[in-house]
Chains A and B, each alone.
Chain A
């Protein structure tokens, strides 16, 4: 697609329920990232995929959070037994490759706004 696509754009869920957030990266981008943005806060790294593997999961806040990527494309972030503190915007991003530096711009989607009530 033309940009990083995320769904749903908004999700309200009850505490204790599981949620799945989907990300469709830019076509051809091998690297995919999930970030979390809480109200008034910066962006917090969650997990990085290179292809279908996740060499860096260091930002996942607890074992209630998991993510997978299939076919080197679509990724799903799953939050089990949601808590109120999970309320945030979950941003997905992709880049052509996972190597750092200029020339490998990271492009963000518009995010999935999650509210846990």
Chain B
């Protein structure tokens, strides 16, 4: 019930294309859904996050789409650039109690120039 499932495991996109990473969760008590970006040798860094009271959040080239009824959310990277090549993790946590993030397995994104 604590799982967050992420797909695909790896993704290759041409420069300028749209990268799409999907996540699904089971626990309906989750109400905070961040995405983290991790470069090799670095710790994960918060990229963008969404609450379930909105269906979409956009920050620059990054957009989260959220479907509460399907218990799914996705990250879209528009106009993907080689500098976006990294591993992306979706996560979820509950507002009540300790903010313990439950992470997906990660997606290794490669943007070809």
- Which residues of B, 36-64, contact A by the 8 Å Cβ criterion? 36, 41-46, 49, 51
A25 at the interface (CB under 8 A from B): no
Q: Chain B's interface: helix, strand, loop or mixed, by majority? A: loop
Give min CB distance, B6 to chain A, whole Å: 8
Q: How large is the interface on B (under 10, 10 to 19, 20 to 34, 35 or more residues)?
A: 20 to 34
CB-CB < 8 A to B98: which residues of A?
A: 31, 48, 50, 55-56, 98, 100
A4 at the interface (CB under 8 A from B): yes
In the bound assembly, the distance between CA atoms of A111 and B43 in angstroms comes to: 6
Given A100-B94, A100-B95, do A45 and B32 touch, yes or no (CB 8 Å)? no
Query: How many of chain A's residues have a CB under 8 angstroms from any CB in B?
Result: 30
User: By the criterion CB–CB under 8 Å, are B99 and A101 in contact?
Assistant: yes
B84 at the interface (CB under 8 A from A): no
B interface, CB within 8 angstroms of A: 6, 31-32, 34, 36, 41-46, 49, 51, 89, 91, 93-106
- Other contacts beyond A45-B101, A102-B49: 10, CB < 8 A: A31-B98, A33-B101, A35-B103, A43-B101, A45-B100, A55-B98, A93-B43, A99-B99, A101-B31, A101-B32
